């Protein structure tokens, strides 16, 4: 019996060691898949910033107003659309900063730096390197810590800079460069339950690690490096583009900034220890069962071999049968429970709806999901369950914060069931879909949240039709620009912004001169053609962020956010000349008269429109084809009823 136990122990030990290697092999493969996911996530973060630089480079508004306040406001608006932009600058060909937009912390409100604080950067390495690039090329800085006055800024702010040369009419006139907050994206990359993830440069210095103990050691002068984490593998990690070790995987990321940054994914010790401990207890259990059975059996066989043989055999059979029955009952219960879940999930496979069971973690990893998810998001259920994709990464980045806030609010209010506002998701092929999400919060007997269960319905077609109907409701059917109803709504918004935030804005009311004569002479069909062509000309002449609409008949109204009276006057004169110089298809030449007004303290929307209308009246009285401002209305005495 002793030798049998020894042989059994050896056999189980061999199986145990083999299984340990299998665990490592499988999870190293998972590490390569996790690398692809995190590298793509990092890449999309940078590509979004490049897209914004590309938009600025190709913006007709910025090209036209590159040296005036409109250009500055344009870069400020661009920065407002991206919470991760720390600094956005336009530097001219002589190295002088012309525009600098600053944001102090991630997601805070950006602001323009005053002209007297702008600096000359012609001797800075990044300016010289970007100026050497061709049109359409991009430059990337090292991934490092932000410096202020020659010292590392506290609290530490990891940054990456992306730059591109700026061309105007085919001539290189300077550079655009953006500093990006990197702390959040780096934390997202290194946080995962299965692996410890490091980012290291080509010299083996640690840029960031999951334990936050040795981050940025190149810049902080700390002693710990990648050598202390991976010992003899360090040389291969920093020299090879891809490396699979016994318990780690490393590969160079997409970023081509001269640092040759590598992402190293190391299996967490506690995960390996848990797997080994589980196998050890399995081995121990088998050994105990064998010993418990073997000793009584040996005793009876050795003491009463002939008399007890049949009895022992009978008892063994009975015990075996009893164990088989226990195993069969257990297996039956497992199958029944699995079948119940499969039946529930299969019901959703018969419809377009999707049933998700999410884990209660920050990325909403998936516990189970119905097969119908493939028709909605194009990912297989296995891709979610294996952690290759998490649900949070499927939500449109502009809607993610809203969805997270709704979940947080529901949890704080101790809700069992709640309905999300419709939000957008991104499919595997980058299609955008709208969904309706009804979610149940599952809690255990101690009121701790265990899971979230969501019932998702595709409402893309409904939402598309809704947006089409909304567009029809705010569009003038003849001219295809905004109608009176939409203009009223936008005026109301500007009114609230002015009174809440003192956000200045102006309006331009304009009227086609002698339009009645055009209708009388050429007929209403020609008159309509003139209105359509006139509206198209106005739409192409306004700035991004401005709003133009048909106010009524031959009258049109333009809303200019962030524009004071002088800026609005200058802009109105520009449009007036554009109309005067334009050759229309039928009438050839027409002109228009303009009235300009700006929100002032105590002024209502009705006061604003009335003042612009009086200014327009003065333009017509003074010979038409003119621009008149609110000040001229006051000087004329027409504003006696204005309060």
Report which of residues 209 and 118 the model is more confident about: 118
Given a cut of 70, whether residue 515 has pLDDT beyond it is yes
Express as a percent the part of the chain with pLDDT over 70.
Answer: 79
Given a cut of 50, whether residue 503 has pLDDT beyond it is yes
pLDDT digits (tens, 9 = 90+) for 271-309: 556 555 665 666 666 666 666 666 565 555 455 555 555
The residue-averaged pLDDT of 545-566 equals: 94
Mean pLDDT of the chain: 83
Of 510, 596, 512, the closest CA to residue 556 belongs to 510
Task: List b or e across 577-609, with b for residues whose CB sees 16 or more CB atoms inside 10 angstroms.
Answer: eebeeeeeeebeebebbbbbbbbeeebeeebbb
Report which of residues 264 and 470 the model is more confident about: 264
Residue 334's pLDDT band (boundaries 50, 70, 90)? very low
pLDDT number for residue 488:
93
Given a cut of 50, whether residue 641 has pLDDT beyond it is no
pLDDT digits (tens, 9 = 90+) for 454-469: 989 998 888 887 777 7
Is 554 assigned a catalytic role?
A: yes
The residue-averaged pLDDT of 266-270 equals: 74
Report which of residues 640 and 364 the model is more confident about: 364
Burial class of residue 492 (count of CB atoms within 10 Å of its CB; 0-12, 13-18, 19+): exposed
Q: Left (φ > 0), alpha (ψ -120 to 50) or beta: where does 169 sit?
A: left
Q: Are 403 and 420 in contact (CB under 8 A)?
A: yes
Length of the chain counted residue by residue: 643
pLDDT digits (tens, 9 = 90+) for 38-72: 888 888 889 888 888 888 888 877 888 888 888 88
Given a cut of 90, whether residue 586 has pLDDT beyond it is no
Domains of the chain (ranges plus CATH)? 58-184 (3.30.450.20), 351-464 (3.30.450.20), 474-636 (3.30.70.270)
pLDDT digits (tens, 9 = 90+) for 78-107: 898 888 999 999 999 999 999 999 999 988
pLDDT number for residue 190:
83
H or E element that contains 429 = none
pLDDT number for residue 297:
55
Report which of residues 73 and 149 the model is more confident about: 73
Given a cut of 80, whether residue 266 has pLDDT beyond it is yes
H or E element that contains 500 = helix 484-501
Determine which of 40-54, 341-355, 360-374, 511-525 has the lowest per-residue pLDDT on average.
341-355
The residue-averaged pLDDT of 5-30 equals: 62
Residue 642's pLDDT band (boundaries 50, 70, 90)? very low
Report which of residues 224 and 538 the model is more confident about: 538
pLDDT number for residue 324:
63
Tokens read off for 198: 């490091």
pLDDT number for residue 21:
64
Report which of residues 305 and 143 the model is more confident about: 143
Q: To 10 degrees, the CA torsion angle through 377, 379, 383, 387? A: -30
pLDDT number for residue 338:
45
Given a cut of 90, whether residue 349 has pLDDT beyond it is no
Burial class of residue 416 (count of CB atoms within 10 Å of its CB; 0-12, 13-18, 19+): exposed
Catalytic one of 554, 555, 580, 621? 554
Instruction: Give the Cα separation of 377 and 395 in Å (integer).
Output: 10
The residue-averaged pLDDT of 467-483 equals: 84
**Which CA distances in Å does 167 have to 62, 244, 475?**
11, 45, 36
pLDDT digits (tens, 9 = 90+) for 213-260: 778 877 777 656 676 666 667 778 878 888 887 778 889 998 888 888
Tokens read off for 260: 């040759």
pLDDT digits (tens, 9 = 90+) for 394-433: 999 999 999 999 999 999 998 988 999 999 999 999 999 9
Bridging pattern class, strands 592-598 and 627-628: parallel
Report which of residues 130 and 352 the model is more confident about: 130
pLDDT number for residue 88:
94
Report which of residues 321 and 376 the model is more confident about: 376
Report which of residues 194 and 328 the model is more confident about: 194
Instruction: Give the Cα separation of 243 and 418 in Å (integer).
Output: 47
Determine which of 168-182, 224-238, 591-605 has the lowest per-residue pLDDT on average.
224-238
Bridging pattern class, strands 248-252 and 547-552: unpaired
Residue 112's pLDDT band (boundaries 50, 70, 90)? very high
Tokens read off for 334: 């497992």
């Amino acid at each position: 019996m002793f030798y049998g136990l020894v042989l059994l122990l050896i056999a189980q030990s061999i199986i145990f060691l083999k299984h340990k290697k299998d665990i490592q092999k499988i999870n190293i493969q998972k590490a390569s898949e996790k690398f692809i996911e995190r590298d793509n996530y990092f890449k999309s973060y940078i590509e979004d910033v490049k897209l914004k630089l590309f938009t600025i480079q190709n913006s007709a508004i910025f090209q036209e107003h590159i040296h005036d306040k409109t250009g500055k406001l344009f870069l400020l608006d661009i920065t407002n659309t991206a919470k991760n932009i720390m600094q956005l600058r336009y530097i001219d060909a002589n190295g002088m900063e012309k525009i600098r937009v600053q944001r102090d912390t991630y997601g805070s409100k950006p602001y323009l730096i005053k002209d007297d604080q702008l600096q000359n950067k012609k001797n800075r390495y990044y300016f010289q390197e970007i100026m050497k690039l061709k049109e359409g090329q991009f430059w990337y800085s090292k991934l490092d810590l932000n410096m202020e006055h020659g010292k590392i800024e506290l609290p530490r702010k990891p940054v990456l800079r992306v730059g591109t040369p700026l061309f105007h009419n085919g001539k290189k006139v300077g550079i655009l460069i953006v500093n990006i907050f990197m702390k959040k994206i780096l934390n997202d990359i290194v946080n995962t339950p299965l692996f410890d993830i490091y980012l290291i440069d080509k010299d083996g210095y640690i840029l960031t690690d999951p334990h936050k103990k040795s981050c940025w050691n190149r810049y902080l002068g700390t002693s710990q490096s990648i050598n202390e984490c991976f010992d003899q593998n360090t040389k291969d990690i920093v020299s090879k583009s891809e490396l699979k070790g016994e318990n780690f995987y490393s590969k160079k990321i997409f970023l081509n900034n001269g640092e040759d940054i590598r992402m190293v994914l190391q299996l967490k010790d506690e995960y390996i220890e848990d797997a080994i401990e589980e196998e050890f207890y399995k081995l121990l259990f088998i050994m105990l069962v064998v010993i418990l059975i073997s000793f009584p059996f040996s005793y009876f066989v050795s003491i009463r071999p002939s008399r007890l043989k049949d009895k022992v055999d009978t008892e063994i059979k009975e015990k075996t049968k009893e164990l088989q029955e226990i195993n069969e009952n257990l297996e039956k219960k497992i199958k029944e429970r699995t079948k119940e879940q499969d039946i529930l999930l299969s019901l959703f496979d018969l419809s377009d709806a999707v049933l998700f069971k999410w884990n209660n973690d920050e990325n909403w990893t998936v516990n189970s999901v119905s097969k119908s998810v493939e028709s909605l998001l194009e990912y297989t259920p296995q891709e979610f369950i294996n952690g290759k994709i998490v649900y949070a990464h499927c939500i449109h980045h502009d809607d993610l914060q809203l969805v997270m806030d709704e979940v947080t609010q529901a949890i704080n209010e101790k809700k069992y069931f709640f309905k999300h506002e419709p939000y957008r998701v991104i499919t595997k092929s980058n299609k955008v879909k709208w969904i309706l999400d009804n979610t149940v919060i599952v809690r255990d007997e101690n009121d701790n949240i265990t899971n979230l269960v969501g019932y998702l319905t595709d409402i893309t077609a409904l939402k598309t039709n809704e947006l089409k109907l909304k567009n029809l409701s705010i569009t003038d059917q003849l001219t295809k620009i905004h109608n009176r109803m939409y203009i009223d709504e936008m005026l109301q918004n500007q009114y609230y912004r002015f009174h809440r935030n003192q956000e200045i804005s102006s309006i331009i009311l304009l009227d086609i001169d002698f339009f009645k004569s055009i209708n009388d002479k050429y007929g209403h069909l020609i008159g309509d053609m003139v209105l359509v062509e006139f509206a198209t000309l106005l739409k192409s002449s306004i700035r991004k962020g401005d709003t133009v609409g048909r106010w009524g008949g031959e009258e049109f109204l333009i809303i200019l956010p962030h524009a004071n009276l002088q800026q609005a006057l200058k802009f109105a004169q520009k449009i007036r000349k554009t109309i005067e110089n334009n050759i229309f298809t039928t009438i050839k030449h027409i002109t228009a008269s303009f009235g300009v007004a700006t929100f002032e303290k105590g002024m209502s929307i009705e006061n604003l429109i009335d003042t612009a209308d009086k200014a327009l009246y003065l333009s017509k009285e003074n010979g038409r084809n003119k621009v008149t401002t609110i000040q001229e209305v006051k000087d004329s005495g027409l504003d006696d009823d204005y309060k």
